[in-house]
Amino acid sequence: MRTEILKLLTTGKELNKQITDNYSDVLSQNILETAKHSLNSDLPNKVNAFLSILNMVENGEKFTPVDSIDDAISLFENKDIQKSIDKTSENNDLTGISPLREKAFPLSEVLSNALNGMESSVQLLSAQIQLGESLKRRGGYS
């Protein structure tokens, strides 16, 4: 899971750079701000939610919150975090609760859901590139 998260984070950073470098002339300011927010706030916040789950199993603050995408990338480049991910995934004593379904979930599923949240942020960046590419072909907004 560590390598999946690392790939998502680095891909998100690369996609944001592509948006800024290649599509800032055709995408609206709102879309550009959304891309910036996804990279600078949304992804780090989702990483911090993931880390809080790991810290709960580790009984403390083994992992401090990240402040940026670069901090998150550095953290997941360290292979040692996989030990905590495995420990959390294998934990059967703690569960997560979904208020929407009023159901308890194993922590492995909670981690998987957190990963899916990170992936959705990166998919948004990818969709913004597709929009930028389409607008460039059309000559910008009509």
> Would the pLDDT of 99 be above 80?
no
Structure tokens at 124: 């948004």
> Would the pLDDT of 74 be above 90?
yes
pLDDT tens-digit profile of 47-60? 999 999 999 898 88
67/57 Cα distance (integer angstroms):
22
E strand or H helix that includes residue 76 = helix 69-77
Average pLDDT, stretch 2-6? 96
> Would the pLDDT of 15 be above 80?
yes
Lowest-confidence segment of 44-48, 102-106, 132-136 by average pLDDT? 102-106
Dmax over Cα atoms in the chain, in whole Å? Answer: 57
Phi-psi sector, 32: left (phi>0), alpha (psi -120 to 50), beta? alpha
What integer pLDDT is reported at residue 83 of this predicted model?
Answer: 95
- C-alpha 30 chain-centroid distance: 20
Angle between helices 69-77 and 2-23 (to 10 degrees): 150
Q: Beta partners for 32?
A: none
pTM of the model: 0.89
Q: Which residue has the tokens 């990166």?
A: 122
